[in-house]
Structure 1
Amino acid sequence: MSHIGKELARIGHSAVLIADRRVQEICGDVIQQSASAEGVDLTVIPFAGEITYEEIARIVDEIGNSKPEIIISAGGGKTIDTGKIVARDTGAAFVSVPTVASNDSPTSHIAVIYDKDHKLVGVEENNGNPELVLVDTDIIIKAPIELLSAGVGDALVKAFEVEQCISAGGKNVFGATSPLTALALARACYDTVREHMIVAYRAHATGETNESFEALVEACVLMSGLAFESGGLSVSHGMTRGLSAIPGVASALHGHQVAYGLLVQLELEERDAAFMDDIRAFYRDAKLPLKLSHLGADQITESIIQTIATVSAEASHMKKFNREICARDIAEAIARIEAA
């Protein structure tokens, strides 16, 4: 983090830092001092805590006519996604500084927008990927394990989604055919997560980074992001539409939502019992959700399952599957998961 000033100076000499109060306490002074040492003029605008169209507009209005060359977002996925669209709307370069490894938002140009109740309402795009992604694992290791487990969930699903997208002849987020390079990267991401998760979690418990922790963070932040943008998404991410429509579940971390979505996808793929047993065992070790109750659902009724299925079935990602699936297919898959 102390080297960020040198990196910023390669991009421009005026910047706005978007960060919530907690993140400002963690790294605000270091960023300010490093930027100042390299002649980068830095202004801080506090982030209110939720990525909404209103919050984006508020920050753009606060910036006003004094357009910075760089927008820096420091924090988690909400802050980072907010910064992407602020950068787009102000014509600035974008720099992401994740303080957690809870998803691959720091690498991508996609921003997922919610309302004040954390219901998904839109997906926006920056003009390009970040000019810089600066990851300091000495900071990330201090974040709660729940956030790291969400990053594991978000990274884990990409191999399965890219495989399905390619199989279905779907398009990636740029509207292009998914290259085999993306599939290779998605599979490497999956292998890295499976190989390093347990030892990385042990490192997290001690507060001291090791090679496995570094590898896991790279998988969660970089490999996962490159894989999904180039390779495409499928059912796992399509499920976030329906899951975010359910009170309690809507506030679950993105990585936990898509991890549950992967269970639905694997049921739709008709994976055998041995495969599902292996995945469920990994979920337990990784602290990932196996039931809707683990995502915060107070009760599981047929009505709730049907709502999730109906809303999810309308997601565009659902078409990137090797056969046509409908709300009934999704509801039946959820019922099997809940009964397991």
Structure 2
Amino acid sequence: MAVLKLLRAPSKYLQGKGALLHFYEETKELGSSFLFICSNSGYKNCSEKLTESFKGSNCEFYFEVFKGISSTGEIERMRKIVQDRKIQVVVGVGGGSAIDTAKATAYYEKLPVVIIPTVVATDAPCTGLSVIYKDDSTFDSYLFYPKNPEAVIVDSEIIAHAPVKFLIAGMGDALGTYFEARACVRTDSPSLENGGIALSAMALCELCYKTLLKNGYQAKLACENHLVTPALEAIIEANTYLSGVGADNGGLATAHSVYNGFTALSECEEVMHGSVVAFGTITQLLLEDAPKEEIKEVMDFCHSVGLPVTLKELSVTDVSRVKIAAEKACIPGETIHNMAGDVTPDQLYDALLAADLLGQDYFK
């Protein structure tokens, strides 16, 4: 039987300069007591605007700074606060870990969740899943939710004042969206939501890529200078909504498996997720024998915004170590197996090294 096509997304997405000043107005139907689970910077950068948004309301709201990782123990701590204070709405304020902690807390307590990203380094805000860690910071599990967040609210001013490296990494993560979904369509593979890939999902994925090409470089310049411009707004939407909803409903392939493989290399511990996904996207195009014009277009984009096109830029100087990453990227269950004809560790190793050679050639 054919897999039924499926589309999921946040119920509401709000973005713009000063968006947090409208927080209460946009979420008041969800409940009258809010717990804001914040990263340190999330509390520092957002609490004032959020407090302002509640002026004149009878709502109760609490800010809780979480301890830096979406661990089982930290989720339990937040659940206890929710129970003790009779919280009705959970809000995640910060980067990926704060967001994942809030999603998990809301899920276990059967409450609505709102997401306020303070960086756009990944497409996590809009997705219906979390990465959960053990209390010793080692990976525990992926937690898949029955629905996506009730609302995602992005204040462009906060993103414009965050370090530009996060915006660049988010563009790297978003770069894989269209090409990975396209690979899944070719093999009739399911999306991350385990449904068939709808035309609407592919349209979002394609728009994501076109938006990166059109606005990426200008957005980077704007962010470096803390300016909110139409180009920056476009890239915030591409990194957060188009990539998040696109990947959720479009599926993953080689680019994200390459990232998972490279987590086995100690030299890559400080390398951002999106940087590896960008290099993985070039690798995927080589595996597909994509037109050289398309490969050049992707490499030109990466170079223009500061994403890596060589292994050295990923802190990998010993190419023999890439074999370890290639093996891990091809373990059973990895999304690389959504590729047409499948991919072996040897084939991936060769493609990674070929991508590196192309990248080195690019700088000659």
Return 39-48 or 62-71, whichever deviates more: 62-71
Report the Cα offset of residue 37 of structure 1: 3.4
Residue number in structure 2 paired with 1:280: 299
Q: Is the 8 A contact 1:189 1:219 kept in 2?
A: yes
User: What does the per-residue CA deviation read over 1:99-135, in whole Å, with 9 as the maximum and x for residues that have no partner?
Assistant: 1111211111121234678765432123311111111
**In structure 2, what is the equivalent of residue 313 of structure 1?**
330
Correspondent of 2:159 among 121, 134, 140:
140
1:339 maps to which residue?
357
The alpha carbon displacement at 1:273 in A equals 3.8
C-alpha distance 50-204 of structure 1, shift in aligned 2 (>3 A): same
Q: Does residue 130 of structure 2 align to residue 111 of structure 1?
A: yes
Q: Which moved more, 1:248-257 or 1:6-15?
A: 248-257
User: CA contact under 8 A between 2:37 and 2:98: conserved in structure 1?
Assistant: yes
1:325 CA displacement: 0.9
Unaligned runs of 5+ in 2: 1-19, 359-364
User: Given the alignment of the two structures, is residue 323 of structure 1 paired with residue 346 of structure 2, yes or no?
Assistant: no
Shift of 1:33: 3.6
Greater shift, 308-317 or 92-101, is seen at: 308-317
Look up the equivalent residue of 1:333 and give its one-letter code.
A
Q: Equivalent residues in 2 for 1:1-340 (5 A)?
A: 1-35=20-54, 37-114=56-133, 120-297=139-316, 299-302=317-320, 304-314=321-331, 315-340=333-358
Partner deviation per Cα, 1:177-229 (whole Å, 9 max, x = no partner):
11121111100110011111122222223322111111111111111111111
The amino acid of 1:306's aligned partner reads: K
Please tell me whether the aligned partners of residues 114 and 152 of structure 2 are also in contact (alpha carbons under 8 angstroms): yes
Superposed displacement of residue 272, structure 1: 4.1
Separation in structure 2 between the aligned mates of residue 39 and residue 2 of structure 1, nearest angstrom: 16
1:71 and 1:176, CA in 2 relative to 1: closer, same or farther beyond 3 A?
A: same
Give, as a single letter, the amino acid of the residue that structure 2 aligns with 1:154: D
Q: Counterpart of 2:232 in structure 1: which amino acid? A: F
Please, which runs of 5 or more residues in structure 1 have no aligned partner?
A: none
Task: Give per-residue Cα distances to partners, 1:119-157, cap 9 Å, x unaligned.
Answer: 654321233111111111011101111100011111111
CA 1:2–1:27 in structure 2 vs 1: closer, same or farther (change >3 Å)? Answer: same
In 1, Cα distance between equivalents of 2:72 and 2:347: 33
Instruction: Give 1:235's aligned amino acid.
Output: T
Distance change (3 Å), C-alpha of 1:135 and 1:320: same
What TM-score do the two structures reach when normalised by structure 2? 0.87
In 2, the alpha carbon distance for the partners of 1:116 and 1:306 equals: 30
Shift of 1:234: 1.1
For residue 353 of structure 2, give the secondary structure of its aligned residue in structure 1: helix
| Structure 2 residue identity aligned to 1:16 | L
What percentage of aligned pairs have identical amino acids?
Answer: 26
CA RMSD of aligned residues (A): 2.0
Aligned length: 338
CA contact (8 A) 2:163 2:224 kept: no
Structure 1 residues 3-33: Cα deviation after superposition (integer angstroms, max 9, x where no partner): 1011221211111101122221111122134
Do the aligned partners of 2:184 and 2:339 also contact (CA within 8 Å) in 1? yes
Distance 1:328 1:165, change over 3 A: same
Higher normalized contact order (CA 8 Å, seq sep 6+, divided by chain length): 2
Describe the SS at the equivalent of 1:28: helix
